[in-house]
Structure 1
Amino acid sequence: MPAALIVAVLVGLAMWFGWVGAVGTWLLAVLLAAVTTAVTGWIITGITRARAVLSPTEPFTVSVEVGDWYALNRWVVEGSRPDQPPPLPGRGLREWATTHAAVRADSLKISILVEGDGPQAVILRGVRVVELTTRPPAGGTHVGYGYFTADGTIEARWFSIDLDARSPRLDRSHWPTPSNEPSFPFSVTQGEPELFWLYVSAAQADYTWRLVLDWTVNGTQYTSVIDDGGEPFALAARGSRPSFYWDDIDARWRASQSTGGHAASP
């Protein structure tokens, strides 16, 4: 209730019942206005502080890139196979995917670069899969067009996510990494970033999901949502869909053999 309305109601009641005279009424109005303003200020300040604790300004920058694992370039397109294969990344691939309502298939790589904005260390406690949706693979056509690629020079932390698992989570058991290879928590500061490569696979269903980054600064814990430019990540399984790969020599589609129901392994 606005301060002016509160004051008007209380002063009106005082005059109606004859509790105070004209001078007393004026003094009462001044007093009530001061009290109401103070209380309103305290409430607004409390709300502002609560919001700051729940959603602070992140002391780091997160860059997300979704791409192929081992440059497999596999997709599920709407309807039958297109006339041309998916182009290489950076050469109209996003436009091709939009035109054909295409979703990445079998596996993908999510690159997450976390860079601190200042000298204070931010502790990255972990990354979790959230908002997972599942539906049977049906409709569309599975297509692929492999290519050669080379990754960047920043040392990356490698993890797997099996979306077919009962509770999908980050896992390192599939990687040939030394037993002393560090895992979460990590820390970032300005000039000391962390790069995470997440190999995500699906063979039994079509999925969408988001990720949550858990982090701590000054002893307080927070979370940040990571997604694909505001949209959930998406990955489709081949299932029983017709499947084709592009033959560069003959410049034509060829039927793919069955994958046996398993996504490509890292």
Structure 2
Amino acid sequence: MVNESDKPNDSRPAADAPVRRRLTDNQLTAVISGAFAVLVAVVAGSFGLVGSVGSSETAQPSVSQVPTIRATESVSPDATPVVDGPLVAAVATVDNHCRQTWITDKSPAEIPNPSLGGIHDWVEALSAVHADSRGVTITVNATSEPQVVLRQIRAVVVGTREIPIPGTQIGIGCGEAISYRYISANLDVEPPAMTSATFGEAEDESGVSLTPIRFPYEVDTSDAESFYIEAQTSRFDVYWEIEIDWSWNGRTGTIRVDDNGQPFRVSAAGNVTARCYWSETGVKIDSFSESCDL
């Protein structure tokens, strides 16, 4: 466990890093198969969630769904899967421009118009940090039989919470309504509060489930589970990771998941000096923008 007094940095000690081992062909195939179905659901806005911060007496069955792909999310390139004990976890960052903004140290005049088809590349080129919230999808399945029980999931703050970063807040307006369920992680409190939450009001024809998420869940070599976590802060610049407790074959343990070897990061937008918002066609939205002289 990382102490709150330790300051975040770009490289953590090797002892704190997740165990990363080469997967066998069968293990890698299982990860890719499970992750692919999940990422299709993520891009579609349903986020394919079958997990929860609540608890129930028995493990819940998996739910398979392949809804229609929407154009409001972009998924980051796949990170190296994390292998720990009987589990393997794959991570994807979801940049949903209907819900997400970012902070860049560039001035408004230095920021090019966004490309709706390349949001991830646009954000990367600006070295932007997620503002106020950051969503990640974690796909978990087993590396061997019998089934592994996922007991609980939590966010863990890495290092010291700092003051929010300055810069320009950037975002893209969106008029499309989507509904999904997720795990909200409040990073402003210690330990971070994990809550099952929903966005939107009703289930629709795409098969989106708004049923509260409840643990435990079971995974095996052919049946993965996915969890969409939306970490939020209104007060700090925060580095964080995800831990999942498991039990299997009389053993217990915890798998730690991060951003390809580095902590995830999100900063509150309270110290920005400008705000620039564009429509989906690349036109600046003056009513939402502040001090945005392009």
Q: What is the CA–CA distance in structure 1 between the aligned matches of 2:126 and 2:213, rounded to whole Å?
A: 41
Cross-structure match for 2:102: 75
Cross-structure match for 2:139: 113
SS at match of 2:252: strand
Work out whether residues 211 and 227 of structure 1, in 8 Å CA contact, stay in contact via their aligned partners in 2. yes
Superposed CA deviations along residues 58-88 of structure 1, whole A, max 9, x for unmatched, are 3333111111356334110013124324434
Superposed CA deviations along residues 8-29 of structure 1, whole A, max 9, x for unmatched, are xxxxxxxxxxxxxxxxxxxxxx
RMSD, matched Cα: 3.4
Q: What is the CA–CA distance in structure 1 between the aligned matches of 2:96 and 2:280, rounded to whole Å?
A: 20
- From 125, 134, 156, the equivalent of 1:130 is 156
Superposed CA deviations along residues 111-169 of structure 1, whole A, max 9, x for unmatched, are 11112234411111112222434111232111101357899xxxx97311111234213
- Per the TM alignment, residue 201 of structure 1 is displaced from its structure 2 partner at its CA by 1.6
Work out whether residues 97 and 172 of structure 2, in 8 Å CA contact, stay in contact via their aligned partners in 1. no
Q: Which structure dedicates a bigger proportion of its chain to strand?
A: 2
Superposed CA deviations along residues 34-64 of structure 1, whole A, max 9, x for unmatched, are xxxxxxxxxxxxxxxxx9xxxx853333111
- Per the TM alignment, residue 197 of structure 1 is displaced from its structure 2 partner at its CA by 1.1
- TM-score, structure 1 normalization: 0.62
Evaluate the alpha carbon distance shift between residue 83 and residue 129 of structure 1 in structure 2; reply closer, same or farther with a 3 A threshold.
closer
- From 243, 248, 271, the equivalent of 1:217 is 248
Cross-structure match for 2:224: 193
- From 70, 78, 84, the equivalent of 2:112 is 84
Amino acid at match of 1:170: M
Q: What is the CA–CA distance in structure 2 between the aligned matches of 1:256 and 1:164, rounded to whole Å?
A: 26
Work out whether residues 234 and 269 of structure 2, in 8 Å CA contact, stay in contact via their aligned partners in 1. yes
- TM-score, structure 2 normalization: 0.57
SS at match of 1:134: coil
Cross-structure match for 2:169: 142
- From 238, 256, 259, the equivalent of 2:288 is 256
- From 187, 199, 202, the equivalent of 2:233 is 202
The count of corresponding residues between Structure 1 and Structure 2 is 198
Unaligned segments of structure 1, at least 5 residues? 1-50, 259-266
Q: What is the CA–CA distance in structure 2 between the aligned matches of 1:214 and 1:97, rounded to whole Å?
A: 32
Q: What is the CA–CA distance in structure 2 between the aligned matches of 1:94 and 1:250, rounded to whole Å?
A: 15
Q: Which structure dedicates a bigger proportion of its chain to helix?
A: 1
Evaluate the alpha carbon distance shift between residue 127 and residue 143 of structure 1 in structure 2; reply closer, same or farther with a 3 A threshold.
same
Unaligned segments of structure 2, at least 5 residues? 1-18, 20-82, 202-209
Amino acid at match of 1:193: A
SS at match of 1:96: helix
Amino acid at match of 1:217: W
Q: What is the CA–CA distance in structure 2 between the aligned matches of 1:239 and 1:256, rounded to whole Å?
A: 16
Q: What is the CA–CA distance in structure 2 between the aligned matches of 1:148 and 1:219, rounded to whole Å?
A: 50
Work out whether residues 90 and 139 of structure 2, in 8 Å CA contact, stay in contact via their aligned partners in 1. yes
Seq. identity, %: 27
Looking at CA atoms only, which structure, 1 or 2, has the larger radius of gyration? Answer: 1
